[in-house]
Amino acid sequence: MSAPAVVITGASRGLGLASAVHLYARGYRVVAAMRSVEAGLERLRQETGAAADDPRLLGVKLDLNDAASIAAAARAIEAAVGAPDALVHNAGIAAAGAFEDTPERAWRDLFNTNLFGPIALTRALLPGMRAAGRGRIVVVSSQGAVRGMPAISAYSASKGALERWAESLAGEIAPFGLGVGVVVSGTFKTDILVQTSDYRDHEGPYASHYVGIDRTGDVVVRAANPPERFARVLARAVAERKPFARHTAGVDATMLVLMSRLLPGAWLHHVIRLAMRLPRAGRLRALPPGAGPGAAELNP
């Protein structure tokens, strides 16, 4: 019997690279889908020790923002391994900035890469997986999907939509023997900050928000875990047999998921505001025209 085949998008770096290396070590055939196949495969071979002709480590070119690339990648995957045993939607992009600071083009790019791209790749591969009567689709989500986070609304929205789609899909494909998993990722030591598009206007109306968020972010990044810990959680999600399962990777993700279940929405809103050091409600409200100096005391 041949080794189970897993497709991992965004496998050339960060969490995808760590996951591909870990799953290869566990005996999977790894199909690494990425934009730069040559450079990505070289990195994977260095990390895994795989030979250039190792049939358990394959590369496929994939750009989730390009419909033709997605279709070509699906054909290449099926030609190489047939219906995959697991499809891991790890690739994603992020953007920082309050809603008013984030341009419309950023929303389109985020949804194309984080949601519509994974949907298109799944649409292409799902018929074969369904016909085989086996397989698992795993999406990598974020804390921003658990609760919409200030200054990353476009990213939160795209990841939230990804989770809701995954939940819906699980109900549809379970009768055919397939399953769906969600991995809610916390903060890990990767180059995600380098990959994040920054639209923040530090001189604009949300400048004070960014100061507080950056202070909290520095603390969180210093405490971030190595990607290898994420890879172990992802491996459990891939091997899961339940029709639908949600896993958390990282203490911060686990805590947020628990709080979202236990705390009323208003309380959680307040906890997040304090954690991110945001101004309290009404603090930045503009003074009415013609108000005298004493009016500022009414808006402390």
Q: Which residues are catalytic?
A: 155
Angle, vertex CA 153, rays to CA 285 and CA 67, nearest 5: 150
| 63-71 own/partner pairs: CB under 8 Å, 24+ apart | 63/35, 64/9, 64/91, 64/112, 64/113, 64/117, 64/118, 64/120, 64/121, 65/109, 65/112, 65/113, 65/117, 67/120, 70/117, 70/120, 70/121, 70/124, 71/120, 71/124
- CA distance linking residue 127 with residue 77, whole number of Å: 13
> 167: exposed, middle or buried (C-beta count within 10 Å: 0-12, 13-18, 19+)?
middle
Residue of 92, 169, 111, 162 whose CA lies nearest to 136: 169
Residue of 159, 162, 135, 165 whose CA lies nearest to 147: 159
- CA distance linking residue 172 with residue 293, whole number of Å: 62
